[in-house]
Amino acid sequence: MENGNSSGDNKSSRKPIRCKAAVSRKAGEPLVMEEIMVAPPQPYEVRIRIICTALCHSDVTFWKLQVPPACFPRILGHEAIGVVESVGENVKEVVEGDTVLPTFMPDCGECVDCKSQKSNLCSKFPFKVSPWMPRYENSSRFTDLNGQTLFHFLNVSSFSEYTVLDVANIVKIDSSIPPSRACLLSCGVSTGVGAAWETAKVEQGSTVVIFGLGSIGLAVAEGARLCGASRIIGVDINPAKFQVGQNFGITEFVNSMTCEKKSVSEVINEMTGGGADYCFECVGSSSLVQEAYACCRQGWGKTITLGVDKPGSQICLDSFDVLHHGKILMGSLFGGLKAKTHIPLLLKRYLSNELELDKFVTHEMKFEEINDAFQLLLEGKCIRCVLWMG
C-alpha cells in the first residue's frame, strides 16, 4: 500500500493511493471488499487514513434503498476517525499527522448560518445526500481498478482505508482519545446528545420519552440524563432494549408491540398524566412522529424528530391539534450541533468522565467483517460495531 512518506514533502505524496474499501455495488447486497484508487486531495480537501469506523443506521438505509438518492457503486460509512495523510492547497486547519473526525454535516464557518447561533445548517454547503465531493461539481475521488467512478456518501465515505474530505467536513481532535470512542462523536452520539442539549434544551426535572432505542435513542437518553431529566421513558418493540437502556438512564419502558388495545401515545399520556415535556423520535417513521406528537404535553410539549424516513415521506398533523394544544414540533440534523464548535466540547465532557461512551460500543471487529456488522445491526443485536482498519 503506497501512502507516501509522512516525513516527505507534501507535493510528492499527492499521488493516488491504492487501498482496500468495502464497496456497495447493489442495493441490499453484501459489500464487496476490493482494492480501489483514492485520488489526492484537491484544494480545500484532505486525504485521511481511517483508523476505525462504526456502522450507523443511515448507512443501512442508503444501502437498502433502490431509488435516488441511493446510488451504486458507492462507498458508504460516515462515522469514523482518521489521521491526515495529505492536504490539498489552501488547507490551514490541519497538517499531516493530525487526528480528525470526519463529520457529514458541513461547517464552513463563513456563511450566515454557520455564524448564527440558531442554526447548524451550513448554507455554503447545503445538506443533501450527494454522490459527490461537496465543493466540486460531479467530482469523485474514488475509482475502482477498472477505472469506474465510485460514489461518495454524506461527504465522508469511511468504509475505506483512505478517504478524501472537504475541510468543511473535518474536526481536528486530540489524538490521545481512544479512537473507538472518539469516532462515535462523528455522528450517532453527537446527534442524540445534541438533540437533548441543543435542539430540545431539556431542563432538569423534565419527563422525556424516546421512541427507538438504537444508538441515537440511547444517545438521547445519555444527553437527557446529563441534563437532569427525572423520567426517561424508552419505547421500542424489542424488550431486550430495556435492559440495555437502563445503563443509559432509561427509567421506564414501553413495548409498543404489547400495548393491546391502546396506542402508544395513549399509554404514555396515562403514564405521564397528560404527556411528556419532550418526545424524541429516533427511528425514522412518520407515523411514529405522529404518535410522539400525540403524547407530548399540551401547553409546552416539544416533539423532536431525528430519524430519517424514506425520501418524500410526509408527517400528517391534525390542524386543530396544532393550533389548540400549544405543542412544538421540530427536527434537527446532527442534534443541532455545529461540528467544529461542539464536538470538542463533547470530547471534553468525555475526558472529564461526565459523558459516557464506552457503553455504546458493543462490538469491535475487523474491517473485513463489515458485512457481519450489517447483520448484527439489522437483527438489532448491537449498539455500535466499531470496525478497525488493518
Partner 1 sequence: MDKASLSSTEGKPIRCKAAILRKAGEALVIEEIQVDPPQAYEVRIKILCTSLCHTDVTFWKLESGPLARFPRILGHEAVGVVESIGANVDGFKQGDVVLPVFQPQCEECKECKSPKSNWCTRYTNDFLSNTRRYGMTSRFKDSFGEVIHHFIFVSSFTEYTVVDIAHLVKISPEIPVDIAALLSCGVATGIGAAWKVADVEEGSTVAIFGLGAVGLAVAEGVRLRGATKIIGVDLNPAKFEIGKRYGMTDFVNPALCGEKTISEVIREMTEVGADYSFECIGLASLMEEAFNSTRPGSGKTVILGMEQKALPVSLGSYDLLRGRTICGTLFGGLKPKLDIPILVDRYLKKELNLDGLITHELSFEEINKAFDLLAEGNSIRCVVWMDK
Count of residues binding partner 1 (CB under 8 A)? 42
Provide the minimum distance between the beta carbon of 134 and partner 1 in the complex, in angstroms, as a whole number.
Answer: 16
Distance separating alpha carbons of residues 337 and 77, to the nearest angstrom: 20
Binding to partner 1 (CB under 8 A) within 110-129 occurs at 113, 116, 118-121, 123, 126-127
Site string for partner 1, 332-371 (x = CB under 8 A): xx--x-----------------------------------
Contacts of 97 (CB under 8 A, 6+ apart): 6, 83, 84
Binding to partner 1 (CB under 8 A) within 126-145 occurs at 126-127
Our CB check for partner 1 shows the closer of 121 and 208 to be 121
Provide the minimum distance between the beta carbon of 57 and partner 1 in the complex, in angstroms, as a whole number.
Answer: 14
Provide the minimum distance between the beta carbon of 306 and partner 1 in the complex, in angstroms, as a whole number.
Answer: 8
Distance separating alpha carbons of residues 382 and 193, to the nearest angstrom: 19
Distance separating alpha carbons of residues 128 and 125, to the nearest angstrom: 9
Distance separating alpha carbons of residues 73 and 297, to the nearest angstrom: 45
Binding to partner 1 (CB under 8 A) within 276-305 occurs at 286, 289, 298-300, 305
Q: Contact, 36 vs 157, CB < 8 A?
A: no
Site string for partner 1, 306-335 (x = CB under 8 A): x-xx-xxxxxxxxxxxxxxxxxxxxxxx--
Our CB check for partner 1 shows the closer of 1 and 330 to be 330
Provide the minimum distance between the beta carbon of 76 and partner 1 in the complex, in angstroms, as a whole number.
Answer: 19
How many whole angstroms from its chain centre is CA 49? Answer: 20
Closest by CA to 40, choosing from 86, 75, 95, is 86
Neighbouring CB atoms inside 10 A of 378's CB total: 13
Q: Distance from first CA to last CA of the chain, Å, rounded?
A: 11
Distance separating alpha carbons of residues 387 and 367, to the nearest angstrom: 5
Our CB check for partner 1 shows the closer of 4 and 131 to be 131
Closest by CA to 96, choosing from 4, 183, 187, 168, is 4
Our CB check for partner 1 shows the closer of 160 and 303 to be 303
Specify the DSSP class assigned to residue 135: S
Our CB check for partner 1 shows the closer of 179 and 301 to be 301
Distance separating alpha carbons of residues 142 and 35, to the nearest angstrom: 11
Distance separating alpha carbons of residues 344 and 302, to the nearest angstrom: 27
Site string for partner 1, 12-51 (x = CB under 8 A): ----------------------------------------
Site string for partner 1, 66-105 (x = CB under 8 A): ----------------------------------------
Given the rule CB under 8 A, which residues bind partner 1?
113, 116, 118-121, 123, 126-127, 286, 289, 298-300, 305-306, 308-309, 311-333, 336
